[in-house]
Structure 1
Amino acid sequence: MGRPSNCTAAAAPNSMPRPRNAEHRARPLHCSKIEPHAAMSEIDRLYRYKTLLSSRRAMAREDILSELEISPATFKRDLAKLRDRLNSPIVFDRDLGGYRLEKPDNATELPGFWFSQDEILALMTIQTMIVQLNPGLLGPKLQPLRKRLDDMLTHQGLDPQLLTQRVRAVHAGKRHLPLAAFEHVAKATFERKQVRIQHHNRMSGQTIERDISPQQLIHYRDNWYADAWCHLRKEVRSFSIDAIQNATVLDKDAKDIDLQAMRQQLDGGYGIFGGSPKDWAELRFSAARAGWVRHESWHPQQQGLLHPDGSYTLRLPYADERELMGDILRFGAEVEVLKPAALRHKVQAEIVRMAALYGR
């Protein structure tokens, strides 16, 4: 498949899944049913409390009612919501003669963000998937947020544990990720620093120490990669983070590469193998597989044609055929390489080798 493009389509057992974001329509913060415009009005009003009271020491109730154009009963309900659901209590200060914002001890606010029920559920889903992605990766760092989201859902009469039990990420081909190496590479990426790594090449068996300037992190097919400027080879390369045996963040500024130009260069190839395309592959899938393949994203520049007999032709560029050949062979006799001849011959030779192996 093409370099990660933040999307995937649902697939059959022999197909190739790609993540796709889903859109959800926000619902009101409370559980009762109200019109969408009313929900927005309430959210806007709750934001106004913070704006009004952050710019002054205290404000009289009459001034608040007048400014927000609300009744005393609505004001009372708003105070309860701000205190119990949004962790932003507004208290009456007798000395100041008005209401003011109070920040309780040992409590932190999600700065500037108040969420609807659907938004909280979306955040919980994302966090659950991140934790399942790599259990030790961000779990401890997200725990404070998890507790806050749990509390917010509980206040709305929902069971936060139910979501955790009902969301599952299934992995295939996931390699062990050394967390220390990942955290150091991620830190260097975000802080724009160089990092010294000892990287093991599984093809050659060599482990080479080199300094790199990481440009971006890629999560591709259940594994993490760093696209980085290699100061040893003087070029942009992709490093599998699970092959990094040791990593040390250096007190040196990273060499910055134009991200758009780099992505255009790397995304031209197929899969994790970047580079300028050397050819286009033309694959014809049987009608039995066409129903899935024609809905899948293999490459950003792919082209497809559905034939009257139900079969499907897929065209896509590639720079290195190794990963592409693996994906072709997964479909067995349900796919035929039409072009180019060089790729067809390589797939054919591999099939002959496989037949000899099983014909023993």
Structure 2
Amino acid sequence: MNEIDRLYRYKSLLTSRHAVASEELMATLGISIATLKRDMARLRETLSLPVVYDRLAGGYRLAPGNTRRELPGMWLTPQELVALVTLQHLLSELAPGLLGHKLAPLRERLAHLLHDIDIDSLGLAQRMRVVHAGQRRLPPQAFDTVASATLQRKRLWLRHFNRATGQRVEREVSPQQLVHYRDNWYLDAWCHLREDLRSFSVDALERCEMLTDTPAVDVPAEQLKRAMQAGYGIFSGPPVARARLRFTPQRARWVSGEQWHPDQSAQVEPDGSYVLELPYADDRELLGDILRHGPDCEVVHPPELRQKVAEALRKAAEQYAQA
């Protein structure tokens, strides 16, 4: 029986009777008196279980009045503790403020538990680095409000700056999910102005208020997936075309290991080039991804997308020719 299973068994034994003798505990669990004493110390000091030794009753029992309040919610293995601290560190890097106030009481407890297994929580965090590329400045208050409303299922009033049109629109939305995409945060929400699903860049929210008295409208999961994940990248909507891209053999060494879209298909041609097919609803983001590969990527189909890429490359070449 491993240590975690044994500690759970203590919980069962000590809550089912008034007192349990040391001899009975050792016989039931197959342990020595030294192990019993170590376990009792851990139950008290690390897991906050109010175990006392009752000399009159001749055994261990739980202190009266504290049993329900102080029983720990979860007991973790060393590997699970490391995983939890790792996730906490990554969350703090990717989303400052998200659940921070709720996790604060747990942080000290985790550090104490890690110390017991000879792992430094601060040192663990210093061994991980999150590199941000193209991350836009995120207003902490806006993010906290959006995250809270999404988790609490409340509506939001927001003023959104549309960078494509330069316009500002005020609207009421029902948040559905937060999306972390290419180092930036987006909110998928039901827009009560347009009566449809929309995606908002959180860093473009100039004002944001949670309507605490108004519950959010929930969109069925399948409908949300069809609307927000069928297109290419962050752009929503049903696919309007399917792109066929050919990468050079040299570039194929990288691209063949990438997922550009959940519904993509691919094949390696005899000369080593890599052909990738994927659907898209809006070609703006797809154009950027194609252009960053320069001459190592050719659009085979459709003709409209091929022409747009050719025009963008022509204009870029003209700018450098003028220089």
Question: TM above 0.5, one fold?
Answer: yes
Query: What corresponds to 1:244 in structure 2?
Result: 205
How many angstroms apart in 1 are the aligned matches of 2:230 and 2:150?
23
Matched, 1:323 2:285: yes
- Please show how residues 196-207 of structure 1 align to structure 2 within 5 Å: 196-207=157-168
- Please show how residues 214-225 of structure 1 align to structure 2 within 5 Å: 214-225=175-186
CA contact (8 A) 1:188 1:195 kept: yes
CA contact (8 A) 1:120 1:153 kept: yes
Question: Structure 2 vs 1, CA of residues 57 and 230 (structure 1 numbering), >3 Å: closer, same or farther?
Answer: farther
Question: Mean Cα displacement is larger for which, 345-354 or 113-122?
Answer: 113-122
Residue 137 (structure 1) shift: 4.4
- Please show how residues 255-266 of structure 1 align to structure 2 within 5 Å: 255-266=217-228
How many angstroms apart in 2 are the aligned matches of 1:146 and 1:177?
24
CA contact (8 A) 1:137 1:179 kept: no
Query: What corresponds to 2:312 in structure 1?
Result: 350
* 2:42 aligns with one of 58, 63, 81: 81
How many angstroms apart in 2 are the aligned matches of 1:181 and 1:116?
37
Report the residue type matching 1:345 in the other structure.
Q
Report the residue type matching 2:170 in the other structure.
E
Question: Structure 2 vs 1, CA of residues 311 and 96 (structure 1 numbering), >3 Å: closer, same or farther?
Answer: same
Question: Structure 2 vs 1, CA of residues 195 and 76 (structure 1 numbering), >3 Å: closer, same or farther?
Answer: same
SS of equivalent residue, structure 1 residue 125: helix
Query: What corresponds to 1:18 in structure 2?
Result: none
How many angstroms apart in 2 are the aligned matches of 1:93 and 1:129?
45
Question: Structure 2 vs 1, CA of residues 110 and 343 (structure 1 numbering), >3 Å: closer, same or farther?
Answer: farther
Residue 132 (structure 1) shift: 1.9
Is there any run of 5+ residues in structure 1 with no aligned partner, and where?
1-37
Question: Mean Cα displacement is larger for which, 319-328 or 287-296?
Answer: 287-296
Query: What corresponds to 1:113 in structure 2?
Result: 74
Question: Mean Cα displacement is larger for which, 181-190 or 49-58?
Answer: 49-58
How many angstroms apart in 2 are the aligned matches of 1:97 and 1:202?
74
Report the residue type matching 2:193 in the other structure.
L
Higher helix share: 2
**1:12-33: CA deviations, max 9, x gaps?**
xxxxxxxxxxxxxxxxxxxxxx
Query: What corresponds to 1:309 in structure 2?
Result: 271
Matched, 1:182 2:127: no
Q: TM-score, normalised by structure 1?
A: 0.82
- Please show how residues 1-360 of structure 1 align to structure 2 within 5 Å: 41-88=2-49, 90-94=51-55, 98-101=59-62, 111-250=72-211, 251-360=213-322
Report the residue type matching 1:163 in the other structure.
L
SS of equivalent residue, structure 1 residue 257: coil
CA contact (8 A) 1:215 1:259 kept: no
How many angstroms apart in 2 are the aligned matches of 1:179 and 1:94?
56
How many angstroms apart in 1 are the aligned matches of 2:3 and 2:274?
51
How many angstroms apart in 2 are the aligned matches of 1:101 and 1:342?
74
Question: Mean Cα displacement is larger for which, 316-325 or 200-209?
Answer: 200-209
Question: Structure 2 vs 1, CA of residues 186 and 96 (structure 1 numbering), >3 Å: closer, same or farther?
Answer: farther
CA contact (8 A) 1:79 1:89 kept: no
CA contact (8 A) 1:270 1:299 kept: yes
CA contact (8 A) 2:47 2:72 kept: no
Residue 56 (structure 1) shift: 4.6
How many angstroms apart in 2 are the aligned matches of 1:190 and 1:177?
19
Paired residues, what number?
A: 319
CA contact (8 A) 1:301 1:316 kept: yes
How many angstroms apart in 1 are the aligned matches of 2:139 and 2:302?
40
Question: Structure 2 vs 1, CA of residues 57 and 206 (structure 1 numbering), >3 Å: closer, same or farther?
Answer: farther
**1:114-148: CA deviations, max 9, x gaps?**
22222211112111222222445454543332222
SS of equivalent residue, structure 1 residue 359: helix
Higher relative contact order (CA 8 A, sep 6+): 1
**1:14-53: CA deviations, max 9, x gaps?**
xxxxxxxxxxxxxxxxxxxxxxxx5xx3211111112332
How many angstroms apart in 1 are the aligned matches of 2:170 and 2:71?
41
Question: Structure 2 vs 1, CA of residues 69 and 311 (structure 1 numbering), >3 Å: closer, same or farther?
Answer: same
CA contact (8 A) 1:277 1:319 kept: yes
Question: Structure 2 vs 1, CA of residues 258 and 203 (structure 1 numbering), >3 Å: closer, same or farther?
Answer: same
How many angstroms apart in 1 are the aligned matches of 2:190 and 2:71?
36
CA contact (8 A) 2:97 2:144 kept: no
Question: Structure 2 vs 1, CA of residues 109 and 356 (structure 1 numbering), >3 Å: closer, same or farther?
Answer: farther
